[in-house]
Structure 1
C-alpha cells in the first residue's frame, strides 16, 4: 500500500517553506504542474505532520506530500506520529484485549465478508 506513495513522492518537490511559531508550513507541488499545490504542516517539537489532502486522517497512511517533506528534511525513518497502532505488530494483541473477541472468530468473520 505504501510503495505507490513512495513512487509518487519522487515526482513532488518542496516549493516554499515558512516558519510560524512551532510549525513549519511546506508548499508541495508536482514537477509537471506547478499550479497544483498542497500544504504540509509540521510541528518541530512533536514531529507531527498534517497535509491539506487529509489522506493521513482518512486512511491512516502518510501521503506523498508528507513523504516529500520527510525526504526534503533528510528524515530516514517514519516518525511515530505517522505510524498508527493498527499498522504495528502489536495491533492483534491490542484488538483482542480491548474488544474481548477471540482472534479466531474475528478471522472467520473477515473471511466471511471477503467471500461475500
Structure 2
C-alpha cells in the first residue's frame, strides 16, 4: 500500500534518527510530530496505520510525504525555516535511519521487503 511513499514511511518510522537529528528540523521536530499526530492522525509507532487504502488508485488516499511537507509550515515561527523537501531531505535522512528500528515499527511492510 505504501510503495510510492515508502521512503517517507521509513523516515517517519525512525523519527529519532532522521527528522529529530537533522539540523533543518532540530528544535522544532516536536511541533512537526504533534501536528502530524493531531491533524493527520499519524502515529510514528507504527506509521503503517496512516491513511486508508484506495482500491481504485491501488495506494493510500493521503500521501505521507505531502503531510510531512505541510507539517513544516504550520507555526508562524517556523514559516521562514526550511520545509521538508523530498528531493533534498529524503536521501540525507535515509542515510541516518536504523533498519532495526524501522523493522520494529513497520512489521507489515518489513515482511514484504
Where relative contact order (Cα < 8 A, 6+ residues apart) is larger, the structure is 2
Q: Same fold (TM over 0.5)?
A: no
State TM-score, norm by structure 1: 0.23
State TM-score, norm by structure 2: 0.23
* Structure with the greater alpha carbon radius of gyration: 1
Structure (1 or 2) with the greater helix fraction: 2
